Chain A
Amino acid sequence: MIKVQAEDFDVGAELAALSRGRAEVGAVASFIGLVRDVAGPGELSAMTLEHYPGMTERQLEQLEGEALDRWPLDKVLIIHRYGRLLPGDQIVLCAATSSHREAAFEACAFLMDWLKTKAPFWKLEEVDGKSNWVAARQDDDAAAARWQTDTPKSK
């Protein structure tokens, strides 16, 4: 399930809903991304996430389908927020459920690595009264690339 929203989310409620009534699910792996209060040398006062409505949902749905193809999962959940967020705010929740932990852990890492390089979001940081677009990180590309050659072990 994919949700792209401005509103905050309740991690406990979302994860509980994901495995409710699914007796075969023995593992729920999740990742929560937060706004940090540091941005290089300055102190971050806020961060605005811009996205491409339509394409964002489309890319995340493709990502969900890819994870379901690669691992024996029951469900995938990605919630990603947009708009102006403050330090400590939740940005993203990514979760995968499976019978066993290995598939859930791997799928969750895969989802975040690919989301970082494919989902059309852009961060605008407000630091010391100035707004700066965050530059993409090369190690994010490297993290995503490892899933192009690795064969998942658990399927």
Chain B
Amino acid sequence: MNQPVNRAINRPLKVLYFAWLRDRVGRSEEDVQPPGNVTTVGELMAWLARQSDGHGEAFKDPAIIRCAINQDYAKADAAISAGDEVAFFPPVTGG
């Protein structure tokens, strides 16, 4: 039988940034391994904000930032899992 994956140790994630979030972070994507107590989108934003001055600037006002997990919209309380593609971006302005 397969052992359950221990997700409490760390969670490798691919994080994508678009528009002014990318400008402020200084890169369009990165692989991160937040600690096990980071389990939601909101907690991930708070953890990312502490990674550099640029990240801090990007996530200064988390309420206005939109998020997608694996290309579907997700709210701040949505759970993240190892291997997820998590994207952060400003409100969209297409059309």
Residues of chain A touching chain B, judged by Cβ–Cβ distance below 8 Å, are: 33, 49-52, 54-55, 58, 80, 91-92, 112, 115-124, 133-137
Contact = CB atoms under 8 A, between A and B. Distances in A.
Cβ-closest 5 pairs across A and B: A121-B94, A136-B91, A55-B71, A122-B19, A116-B95
Contact of B71 (A52, A117, A118, A122): A52
Interface SS majority for chain A = mixed
A112 B73 CA distance: 18
Nearest to A122: B19
A129 to B, nearest CB: 17
B20 A119 contact: no
Contacts, number: 70
Give the dominant DSSP class at B's interface: loop
Contacts of B92: 116-122, 136
B87 A55 contact: yes
Interface residues of B, number: 16
Most buried by B among A50, A117, A122, A124: A122
B47 interface: no
Interface of B: 16, 18-20, 68, 71-73, 87, 89-95
A80 B93 CA distance: 12
B4 to A, nearest CB: 29
B90 A50 contact: no
A120 B16 CA distance: 13
B95 A52 contact: no
Given A52-B71, A54-B71, A133-B90, A119 B18 contact: no
